[in-house]
A and B are shown apart, each in its own frame.
Chain A
Amino acid sequence: MMIKEQGVFGVFSYIDSTVQAIKRLREAGYKNMRVFSPFPNHEIEEAMENRESIVRFFTLSGATLGALCGLTLTILTTLDWSIRVSAKPVVSLPPYMIFVFELTVLIGSLATLLGLLINSRLRRNVPRQIYDPRFSEDKFGVGVFCKIEDIKKVEEILKLSGADEVQFEGI
Chain B
Amino acid sequence: MNQESTITYSKVNQDVIRMLDKPTAKWWSLFIFDLLVLSFGLMCFIYQIYSGLGVTGYRHPVFWAVYITNFVFWVGIAHSGTLISAILYLFRARFRMSIYRISEAMTVFAVLTAGLFPIIHLGRPWYFYWLLPYPNQRQLWVNFSSPLMWDVFAVGTYLTVSSVFFFVGMIPDIAAIRDRVKEVPRKILYSVLSLGWKGSAWEWGHYTRAYFYLAAFATPLVISVHSVVSWDFAMANVPGWHSTIFPPYFVAGAIFSGLAMVITLVVPIRKIFHLEEFITIANFEGMAKMIILTSLIVTYAYVVEVFMAWYSGNPYEWGQFIYRMKGDYALFYWIMIFCNSVVPLLLWFKKVRTNIKALFIISLFINIGMWFERFNIIVISLSHEFEPGAWGLYRVSWVELGITAGAFAWFFMFILIFIKTLPALSISEIKEIIPAPTREVKAK
Instruction: Identify the A interface with B (CB < 8 A).
Output: 13-17, 34-41, 44-45, 48, 50, 52-53, 55-56, 59, 73-74, 77-78, 80-81, 92, 95-96, 98-99, 101-103, 105-106, 108-110, 112-113, 115-117, 119-126, 131, 133-138, 162
Contact = CB atoms under 8 A, between A and B. Distances in A.
A80 B141 contact: yes
Nearest to A63: B217
Contact of B175 (A50, A53, A136): A136
A14 B437 CA distance: 5
B220 A105 contact: yes
A126 B428 contact: no
Contacts of A131: 198
Nearest 8 CB-CB pairs, A to B?
A133-B179, A138-B9, A77-B141, A116-B210, A123-B196, A53-B209, A136-B176, A35-B201
Nearest to B194: A122
A55 B201 contact: no
A125 B199 contact: no
Contacts of A77: 133, 141-142, 144
Given A38-B9, A138-B9, A103 B153 contact: yes
Interface stretch (B157-165, B388-396, B412-420): B157-165
B207 interface: yes
Given A55-B209, A78-B141, A126-B198, A137 B150 contact: no
Secondary structure of the B contact surface, majority rule: helix
B439 A109 contact: no
A76 B428 CA distance: 46
Contacts of A40: 204, 207-208, 428, 432
Interface in B179-210: 179-180, 195-210
A99 B200 CA distance: 38
B210 A113 contact: yes
Contact of A133 (B160, B161, B180, B195): B180
Given A36-B201, A55-B213, A136-B199, 11 more contacts: A16-B440, A38-B428, A39-B431, A40-B432, A78-B141, A98-B153, A98-B228, A105-B217, A115-B206, A116-B207, A125-B202
A37 B141 contact: no
A116 B209 CA distance: 9
Contacts of B139: 80-81
Interface in B217-241: 217-218, 220-221, 224, 228
Contacts of B438: 14-16
A86 B72 CA distance: 32
B210 A162 contact: no
Contact of B204 (A45, A96, A122, A138): A45
Contacts of B220: 101, 105
Interface in B1-48: 8-10, 13
B422 to A, nearest CB: 16
A56 to B, nearest CB: 6
A125 B204 CA distance: 12
Given A15-B436, A116-B207, A45 B164 contact: no
B224 A101 contact: yes
B8 A138 contact: yes
Contacts of A15: 436-438
Contacts of A109: 160-161, 164-165, 213-214, 217-218
Interface in B40-97: none
Given A109-B164, A116-B168, A138-B8, A125 B203 contact: yes
Given A39-B429, A77-B141, A96-B144, A110 B206 contact: no
A92 B220 CA distance: 23
Given A40-B208, A106-B160, A122-B195, A50 B202 contact: yes
Contacts of A112: 210, 213-214, 217
B172 interface: yes
24 contacts: A13-B437, A35-B200, A35-B201, A36-B199, A38-B199, A39-B429, A40-B207, A40-B432, A41-B436, A53-B208, A59-B210, A77-B142, A78-B141, A95-B150, A102-B153, A103-B153, A105-B224, A109-B161, A109-B213, A113-B210, A115-B206, A120-B203, A122-B197, A125-B203
